[in-house]
Structure 1
Amino acid sequence: MSAEPRSALESPDFRTLTAARFLLAFSRRMQTLVMAWQVYALTHDPLALGLIGLVEAVPALALALWAGDVVDRGEPLSIYRGVIGGSLISVGLLLAAGLPGAGLSEARHLALIYAAAFIAGAARGFSQPALYALVPRLVPRAALARSSAWITTAFQTASVIGPGLGGVLFAWKGAQVPYGLGAALLLCSLLMTAAIRPPAAPAAEPAAPGPAESAWRRMTSGLRFVFADEVLLPALALDMFAVLFGGVEAILPIFAADILRIGASGLGLLMAAPSLGALLGSALMIHRTPNRGAGKLLLSVVTGFGVCIIAFALSRDILLSAALLALAGALDSVSMVIRGAIVQLASPPGMRGRVAAVNSIFIGTSNELGAFESGAAAKLLGTVPSVVCGGVLTLVTVAGAALWSPRLRAMDLDGFKS
C-alpha cells in the first residue's frame, strides 16, 4: 500500500475528484447563464430571473439535512455520482425543450426551464455534504485547508470559462450548443469518478448513529453542532448575509441588456468576471494559506466585497464594471476558502456530511434566495438603487459580525489542525 500523501495534490484520487468537480461546475455555470438569458428574453421581468434561484433553492434547502444524514450513513462517492447524474437529467430536459419538433409555447418553455432548475437544485442538495465528507478520506488533515483552496480554484476556473464560453456559443448558435456541451462534460465527469477508490473510513472514526436515535435527531444534529460553535455560526452567518444582500449575479442580464447595453456576449463577460477574480484569489490562497489571522482577514475581505458591489451599481463603463466584479469575486473566494477550511477542520469525522449540509443551507440561502431577493428588490426599488442598498447592508453585516463574535475576530486556522 502506498504511503499517505503529504499534500492534497499527492493524492491521485483527490486530483481526479477535483477534475470531476471542475467539469460539473463548468456545465452548471454555462447552463445557468443560458437559462437566465432565455428567461429574461421570454419575460423581460427581473422577478422572473429571481425565480430561477428560488426554484433551485427550494429542493436544495429542503433536502439538505436529510442529504447530510444520508452521506454520513452511506458512501459519499456514490452519492456524488448521483449528483452528477441529476445534473445530467436537468440539462437533458433543457436540450429536449429546444428540439426542432418540440413546438413549445413561451409559457411551457418557461415552465421547463424552471423544472430543470428544480432538478438541478435537488441534485445540488447532496453535492456539498458528499464532497466535504469525501475529501478528508483522500487527503491528510493537515492538507485540508489547502485542499479547500484547490477545490475552490477548480470551481472558479470553471466559473470563468463556463459563462464566457456559454455566452459566446449562445450568441453564435443558440441554446442547444452550450446545453449539448454541458451534457457532454457531465458524462465525462461521471466517468472520471469511476476511477476514484477512496480508502475505508478509519476505525477511529465514530460510527453513524444507531437506529435508537430518531431520524429527525440525526438529521438536525449538524444544526445543533453549528449553532453551539462560537466560530462556525458567525462565520457562516457572515457569508450568508453578505452574499444574500450583496449578490448581483441574478440580475446581471438587466445590466447587460438595459444599463450597459452589451448583449449576450457582454453578459458572459460580466458573469465570468467575478469568477476570474475568484480564480486569482483562490490560487493565491493555495500558496499563502491564511492560517494565522484568518478571522481578521475574513472580516476584511467581506468589507471589500460590499464596497465593490456599491461601486459596480454606479458604474456605466463595461471595463470598470467587469473589473469591480472581478475584485469582488477575488475577495469572495478568500472568504470561501476560509469558510471551507473551517467547516472541514471543525467537523467531527462522523458528522462531516451533516455539518456540510448546514453549510450548504447557509450557502443556498445566500445564493439562490439571494437571487430571488435581487430580482424582487430590483423590481420594487429599481435595479441600481437595489444593488447600492445591498452593498450597504453587506457592510452593516460585517460590523454586526465583528461586534457579535470576538472569537471570530481572533480566529486562527492553526487552532483547528491539532
Structure 2
Amino acid sequence: MEPDLQSQHSPFASVRIKEFRYFITQRFFFIMAMRMTATLVWWKMYLLTKDPLLVSLVALSEAIPAISLALYSGHVVDKSDKRTLLLKTIVLYLLCVTALLFITQQSVEATMGKRFVQYGIYLIIFLTGITRSFSGPTSSSIMAQLVPKNILPNAVTWSSSTWLSASVLGHGSAGLLIAYAGYTPSFLIIITYLIIATVSVWLIKPKPILHVNTDQKTWESVKEGLKYVFKTKELLGALTLDMFAVLFGGAVAMIPFFAGEILHVGPIGFGWLNAAADIGSITSIIILTFYPLRRKQGLILLYVVAGFGLCIITFGLSQFYLLSFIALLASGALDGISVVVRGTILQLKTPDNMRGRVSSVNSMFINSSNEIGSFESGIAAKLMGIVPSVIFGGTMTLLVVLAMWFKAPTLRKFEY
C-alpha cells in the first residue's frame, strides 16, 4: 500500500491507494455490465410474456443458486486468493453475457420460438446466479486487503458510490440502447465493459490467504460464519432490517408494467425509472462521502428504511411519470444512507479471517431481499393486481421497521 495516506477523515483517503483505484474501476464496469444486462433481460421478458409472474421468474432463477451457494461460497472465499477468485467470476459472467447475446438474436426467436428464448434466458440467468454467489462476497472481502482498517469506512463509501454510479448509468443507458440500437449492440457494449473489468482486476496483485484453518471441514467453517453473524446483534439487526424491507418493498419487478401499462413511457422511460432509485442513492452517498454520519447511525438506519417504505407506497399510488420518478428517486436516496451504514457495520464488525463467510451471509440476505423480493412482487401482482401489490409491499416495510424498533434495541442505539 502507498505510504502517503491522509488521515481517516479525508474524503479521498482510500482512493489515494493505487490498487483500490483498480478495484473501484473494476467495480464500476462490472456493476454497469450487470445492471445493463438486468435491464435488457427484464424488458425482453416483458415483451415476450406480458405476465408479471413469468417476468419475476427471472429473479427467482438468479436467486435460487445465489442463495443456495452463498454459505459455501463464503467458505471458498476465505480459503482462496480473493483477487484470482474475483477474476474468475468476471470471466464466467462474460461467458453468460455472450450466451445472452446469442439467444436474443431475432433469428433465434424466429427459428426456435419465443418459448425457447424465454427458458433459455431463465437458464442463463440461473448461471449468473452461481457466479454472483461468489463475486459478491469476494468483492466485499478483498477491500480489507487493499486499504488500512482505519479508512475502511471511507473505502466502503467510495465502493458504494461506485456501485451506484454504475447502476444509474447501466439502467439508464440500457433503456436508451434498447430503443435506438437493439439487443445485439447493447450486449457487445456490455462485453466490452466486462473486458475492462477483467483487466482492472488482473492489475491487482494476488493477495495472501488470511489466518484460515485449512483443516477445518466445510460445514464447520460455514457454521462458524453463521454463528458469528447471529451473535453480533448490530450486524444481524442491520442485515435483517434490509432483507425484510427490500423483500416486501422492492418494486423493481413491477417497473416494466408501470412503464408500459400505467405510465405509458416505453423503454426509455422504463430505463430511467429503473435508474431513479440509484440516482437518489448516489446523491446521498456523495453527500455522505464529504459529510459522514458521526452519531446515532443505527437510529438513522431505522428512520431511512421507514421513509423508503413511504416512497414505495407513493410510487404505487402515482399515475404521473414525474411523481413516480421522484418517489423512486427519494427511495433511492434513503436506501443509499442504509447501504453506507450497513456496509460500514459489516466491514468494522467482521474479523479478517472470516470476511468471506460473513460477506456470504450478507450476500444471502441481499439476494433474498432483492431477487426473492422481485419474485414475491410477481406473485402478489398476480393475486392482488400490480398497484395493490406495490402498496402492500411498502406497508409491510413500515411494519418491519416497527418490529425492529422494539426487537433490536442494540441496533437502535448503535454508533460507530
Q: TM-score normalised by the shorter chain: which range applies? A: over 0.9
Q: 1:106 aligns with which of 109, 114, 119?
A: 114
Q: 1:391 aligns with which of 391, 394, 403?
A: 394
Kept after mapping to 1: 8 A contact 2:82/2:206: no
Displacement of 1:173 in angstroms is 2.3
Opposite residue 373 of structure 1, the aligned amino acid is: E
- After TM superposition, list the pairs within 5 Å mapping 1:264-283 onto structure 2: 264-283=267-286
Q: Cα RMSD between the aligned structures?
A: 1.4
CA distance in 1, matches of 2:5, 2:143: 13
Question: Which residue is 2:405 aligned to?
Answer: 402
Q: 1:209 aligns with which of 187, 209, 213?
A: 213
Displacement of 1:5 in angstroms is 3.5
Q: Deviations over 1:348-388 (max 9, x none)?
A: 11000000000000000000000100111011100111111
Kept after mapping to 2: 8 A contact 1:138/1:199: no
- After TM superposition, list the pairs within 5 Å mapping 1:300-379 onto structure 2: 300-379=303-382
Kept after mapping to 1: 8 A contact 2:238/2:411: yes
Question: Which residue is 1:184 aligned to?
Answer: 192
Q: Deviations over 1:38-85 (max 9, x none)?
A: 111111100011101100011111111111111111101111112211
CA distance in 1, matches of 2:323, 2:338: 23
Kept after mapping to 2: 8 A contact 1:170/1:177: no
The farther-off stretch of 293-302 and 169-178 is: 169-178
Opposite residue 49 of structure 1, the aligned amino acid is: V
Question: Which residue is 1:240 aligned to?
Answer: 243
Q: Deviations over 1:276-332 (max 9, x none)?
A: 111101111211222421101101110110010001111111111101101100111
Q: 2:64 aligns with which of 31, 54, 58?
A: 58
Partner SS state of residue 393, structure 2: helix
CA distance in 2, matches of 1:308, 1:384: 14
Opposite residue 147 of structure 2, the aligned amino acid is: V
1:284/1:2 Cα in 2 relative to 1: closer, same or farther (>3 Å)? Answer: closer
TM-score by length of 1: 0.95
Kept after mapping to 1: 8 A contact 2:315/2:324: yes
Opposite residue 401 of structure 1, the aligned amino acid is: M
CA distance in 1, matches of 2:243, 2:376: 13
Q: 2:302 aligns with which of 299, 304, 310?
A: 299
Kept after mapping to 2: 8 A contact 1:312/1:325: yes
Say whether residues 1:226 and 2:229 are aligned partners: yes
TM-score by length of 2: 0.95
The farther-off stretch of 219-228 and 393-402 is: 219-228
Opposite residue 408 of structure 2, the aligned amino acid is: S
1:200/1:256 Cα in 2 relative to 1: closer, same or farther (>3 Å)? Answer: same
Segments of 5+ residues of structure 2 without an aligned counterpart are: 7-12
CA distance in 2, matches of 1:54, 1:120: 12
Kept after mapping to 1: 8 A contact 2:2/2:17: no
Question: Which residue is 1:3 aligned to?
Answer: 3
CA distance in 2, matches of 1:253, 1:228: 40
1:323/1:2 Cα in 2 relative to 1: closer, same or farther (>3 Å)? Answer: closer
CA distance in 1, matches of 2:295, 2:248: 28
Kept after mapping to 2: 8 A contact 1:293/1:410: yes
> How many residues end up aligned between the 2 structures?
408
Displacement of 1:2 in angstroms is 4.1
CA distance in 1, matches of 2:307, 2:41: 30
Report sequence identity in percent: 38
Say whether residues 1:42 and 2:48 are aligned partners: yes
Kept after mapping to 2: 8 A contact 1:137/1:198: no
The farther-off stretch of 232-241 and 79-88 is: 79-88
- After TM superposition, list the pairs within 5 Å mapping 1:146-157 onto structure 2: 146-157=154-165
Segments of 5+ residues of structure 1 without an aligned counterpart are: 414-418
Say whether residues 1:412 and 2:385 are aligned partners: no
Say whether residues 1:249 and 2:255 are aligned partners: no
Opposite residue 103 of structure 2, the aligned amino acid is: A
CA distance in 1, matches of 2:26, 2:217: 35
Q: 2:78 aligns with which of 49, 54, 72?
A: 72
Partner SS state of residue 231, structure 1: helix
Displacement of 1:210 in angstroms is 3.5
Displacement of 1:101 in angstroms is 4.7
Displacement of 1:16 in angstroms is 1.0
1:257/1:393 Cα in 2 relative to 1: closer, same or farther (>3 Å)? Answer: same
Displacement of 1:342 in angstroms is 0.7
Displacement of 1:86 in angstroms is 1.9
Opposite residue 111 of structure 1, the aligned amino acid is: Y
Partner SS state of residue 343, structure 2: helix
CA distance in 1, matches of 2:4, 2:131: 32
Question: Which residue is 2:152 aligned to?
Answer: 144
Question: Which residue is 1:22 aligned to?
Answer: 28
1:198/1:138 Cα in 2 relative to 1: closer, same or farther (>3 Å)? Answer: farther
Question: Which residue is 2:202 aligned to?
Answer: 194
Displacement of 1:341 in angstroms is 0.8
Opposite residue 28 of structure 2, the aligned amino acid is: F
CA distance in 2, matches of 1:58, 1:86: 18
Opposite residue 213 of structure 2, the aligned amino acid is: P
